[in-house]
Structure 1
Amino acid sequence: MKKKISIFGSTGSIGKNTIEVIKNSPDDFEIIALVAKNDVKTLISQALLFKPRYVVIENEKHFPKLKSSLKNCEILCGWEAILEVAKIKCDLFVAAIVGFAGMLPTLNAIKAGSNIALANKESLVCAGKFLMDEAKKHKVKIIPVDSEHNAIFQIFENENLAMIDDIVLTASGGPFFNSKKDFRKISVAEALKHPNWKMGAKISIDSATMMNKGLEMIEAFHLFPLKKNQIKILTHPQSIVHGMVNYLDGSSLAMISLPDMKVPISYALTFPNRMKIRHQKLDLAKLQKLEFFAVDEKKFPAVRICREALEIDGSAPTVLNAANEIAVAKFLDGEITFDCISKIVEKTLNKISHKKLSSVEEVIFFDEKARACLQTHHSSIFQKF
């Protein structure tokens, strides 16, 4: 029987890679829903190829083109339609919507009893406790798609939890790991040019600031039964070792592969099994070296800021994420300089009083509160640093 898949964020980087994996195994999967925000051209081509039951575009202006291009499926538009289609149970819900926007659809999918292939780290950063509690309540598996968390997921021995010393998430260091360039003079094009991974704009900038790794540290805290001080980060420029688990007996398990998102995606699609995919084979003899470095938190303060938000807990990670999304968008639009991203995030985090959260509604409240602080250039947050 084919595994029924819904892909939310099908036209983004993760969505497209998921499509490629599924396309090469048509007898194993059936796509029942495709959801996108703006890229109607790609969405139409995907829908014509896979013929899903539901096709949803968030931007309503693209609905007429979508409607005229497709037949024999239910075509919907708007945010409410996305939330409703997320409630339709499937075997695996690929959560690949970028940013905080992915949280509610993912929550609806969990409540529907769909297992989750989680690429949307912001869902756990902002509402990790609530999503994990719902997953436990509905007996839903959450399989991480981020290469680092997927790596840890593959080698984490839950039955030997007491023997785990710590885990290591690796970071490439992004395009500026070895750069001595003044961060105030970094262009958008330079920040988007990742040395190892081909990703969307938002995550590429997060990788360049290393905010991505800080967010992944918070995500890991919710995914794995660990204390906050058991989650470590190392810079690994080659992006071959994606994660490590260190045990108290001196053993360390590492998951290694070439930097290709189809590897963790295929694992998530077939868990607890594996599948053959088309990829370049890892040849250790050609690597020559694998390097590891401590994170330079003076150069990349985003990691420290995320750690502080995790320690504060409560509303702090939600505020941190909202401020980062706004700051990254403003950098991409040319409104602020690269160095201001982390400064704006830290200033916003310190500006808002934090509290323990008791509901998803409070998560949404603090997300909106943080964005309200940053909605205009005239806010004191955006004063020149």
Structure 2
Amino acid sequence: MSEPLRVVVLGSTGSIGTQTLDVVRWRGWRVVGLAAGQNRARLAEQVRTFRPEVVYAAAGTPELPPGVRTAASAAEVAAWDADIVVAAIPGLAGLEPVRAAVRAGRRVALANKESMVAAGPLLQAEARRYGARFVPVDSEHSALFQALAGERPEDVAELILTASGGPFRKGPEDLSGVTPEAALRHPRWSMGPKVTIDSATLMNKGLEVLEAHALFGVGLDRIKVVVHPQSYVHSLVRFVDGQLKAVLGPTDMRLAIQYALTYPERAPTPLAAEPLPPRLDFEPPDLERFPALELAYRAGAQGGLAPTVLNAANEVAVAAFLSGRLGFTGIARVVETVLGKTPPDPLTWENLYAADAWARAEAEEQL
């Protein structure tokens, strides 16, 4: 790339945000905007290092150097003059900043799957209207994006998302007593607490199924999930002739992040090449032990506001589990109960926010 990219990072102090800034250092690009949540100390360090033009912090903006502007919201940072916006604010809190970036016509490197789950059709319509484009950051969707490049939609038979299986793939059989500490010990990936718990329940893979449906326009019946404990195959595409294309690589999110930022080009990295693993295993997910995955398919098939309700109820249930208010198996039970009461209203921006608020309140009632 001839000119350094102007990059905005939303969620800059989280796992994806900090790894994005690693990639920015590799490439020598310009960070023009940062938005963060509660980690003011880390944000202050990032501001000193990258000297952005604008900063927002939900917990209160730290002392800024001269010339750095304080934004009133993460959405204001998202709409800043930039070549690409990395959307890594977790949960539905990231939706409005994503929407602001889309309305500004930006290229959005999307790491906030919940936005696409809850508002996929609405965001895609606005992207077409404002000339914005989504490039996925999640390793699974990045792999699908790469495997689909240059292929005709009518030649795609199915998308196959891989799942590590999480920390409880091999046990215990009874998951009702597992602790947050155990659930946060992911065997392959280093992620934030919410997505790590979602990985342990397989809800994360369910959200990824819904995101893939919204991103790539492939029917839910043609999006499959396989458990692949080595996490070396990030996703696969099966074509109508029976052949498969897959993206394989180390479990380092910076590879997918860099691809989203440099697309359609590729760039070298300072990471050492890793040897191929001695074996690659694949197995079907256990939907009896991990019912959250089936709930996501159910929400997608119902459509309308159901994915929004699924996501909201899950966010409340995961927070309750992490705080000790709910058992591990209670997460799926709460989500299933709230999902079964989903309002029949059509998906609109107004209805989406109303359904999100209703589902959170209903989930709290279930607790």
Mapping 1:186-265, distance limit 5 Å = 186-265=178-257
Residue in structure 1 matched with residue 336 of structure 2 by the alignment? 346
Which blocks of at least 5 consecutive residues in structure 2 are unaligned?
none
Residue in structure 1 matched with residue 308 of structure 2 by the alignment? 318
Residue in structure 2 matched with residue 45 of structure 1 by the alignment? 45
**Which residue type is aligned with residue 22 of structure 1?**
V
Mapping 1:295-334, distance limit 5 Å = 295-334=285-324
**Which residue type is aligned with residue 65 of structure 2?**
L
- Once residues 206 and 270 of structure 1 are traced to their aligned partners in structure 2, the CA distance between those partners, rounded to angstroms, is 29
**Which residue type is aligned with residue 4 of structure 1?**
R
Secondary structure of 1:56's counterpart equals strand
Q: Deviations over 1:98-135 (max 9, x none)?
A: 00000111001011011000000000000000111111
Residue in structure 1 matched with residue 10 of structure 2 by the alignment? 8
- Once residues 340 and 313 of structure 2 are traced to their aligned partners in structure 1, the CA distance between those partners, rounded to angstroms, is 11
Total equivalences in the alignment: 365
**Which residue type is aligned with residue 182 of structure 1?**
D
Residue in structure 2 matched with residue 22 of structure 1 by the alignment? 24
Aligned pair partner of 1:71 in 62, 66, 70:
66
**Which residue type is aligned with residue 294 of structure 1?**
P
**Which residue type is aligned with residue 302 of structure 1?**
A
Secondary structure of 2:340's counterpart equals helix
Residue in structure 2 matched with residue 100 of structure 1 by the alignment? 92
- Once residues 280 and 299 of structure 1 are traced to their aligned partners in structure 2, the CA distance between those partners, rounded to angstroms, is 37
Q: 1:183 offset after TM fit, Å?
A: 1.1
**Which residue type is aligned with residue 45 of structure 1?**
E
- Once residues 173 and 220 of structure 2 are traced to their aligned partners in structure 1, the CA distance between those partners, rounded to angstroms, is 33
Conserved? CA contact 1:89–1:109, under 8 Å: no
Residue in structure 1 matched with residue 354 of structure 2 by the alignment? 365
Residue in structure 1 matched with residue 265 of structure 2 by the alignment? 273
Residue in structure 1 matched with residue 122 of structure 2 by the alignment? 130
Secondary structure of 2:152's counterpart equals helix
Secondary structure of 1:337's counterpart equals coil
**Which residue type is aligned with residue 18 of structure 2?**
K
- Once residues 2 and 281 of structure 1 are traced to their aligned partners in structure 2, the CA distance between those partners, rounded to angstroms, is 26
Q: 1:275 offset after TM fit, Å?
A: 1.3
Mapping 1:280-295, distance limit 5 Å = 280-284=272-276, 287-295=277-285
**Which residue type is aligned with residue 86 of structure 2?**
V
Q: Deviations over 1:342-380 (max 9, x none)?
A: 1110011012333321x21211111011012133xxx2x
- Once residues 251 and 352 of structure 1 are traced to their aligned partners in structure 2, the CA distance between those partners, rounded to angstroms, is 39
Residue in structure 2 matched with residue 35 of structure 1 by the alignment? 35
- Once residues 225 and 209 of structure 1 are traced to their aligned partners in structure 2, the CA distance between those partners, rounded to angstroms, is 26
Residue in structure 2 matched with residue 57 of structure 1 by the alignment? 57
- Once residues 81 and 121 of structure 2 are traced to their aligned partners in structure 1, the CA distance between those partners, rounded to angstroms, is 22
TM-score (norm 2): 0.97
Conserved? CA contact 1:125–1:317, under 8 Å: yes
Secondary structure of 2:320's counterpart equals helix
**Which residue type is aligned with residue 307 of structure 2?**
P
TM-score (norm 1): 0.92
Aligned pair partner of 1:141 in 133, 141, 166:
133
Conserved? CA contact 1:9–1:37, under 8 Å: yes
- Once residues 337 and 306 of structure 1 are traced to their aligned partners in structure 2, the CA distance between those partners, rounded to angstroms, is 20
Conserved? CA contact 2:310–2:339, under 8 Å: yes
Q: Deviations over 1:45-75 (max 9, x none)?
A: 1111111001111123xx3xx12x5332112
- Return closer, same or farther for 1:158/1:343 CA change in 2, 3 Å cut-off: farther
Greater Cα shift, 159-168 or 326-335 = 159-168
**Which residue type is aligned with residue 70 of structure 2?**
I
- Once residues 252 and 314 of structure 2 are traced to their aligned partners in structure 1, the CA distance between those partners, rounded to angstroms, is 26
Aligned pair partner of 1:173 in 160, 165, 180:
165
Conserved? CA contact 1:236–1:291, under 8 Å: yes
Q: 1:138 offset after TM fit, Å?
A: 1.9
CA RMSD across the alignment: 1.2
- Once residues 151 and 274 of structure 2 are traced to their aligned partners in structure 1, the CA distance between those partners, rounded to angstroms, is 30
- Once residues 314 and 66 of structure 2 are traced to their aligned partners in structure 1, the CA distance between those partners, rounded to angstroms, is 40
Residue in structure 2 matched with residue 88 of structure 1 by the alignment? 80
Percent of paired sites with the same residue: 39
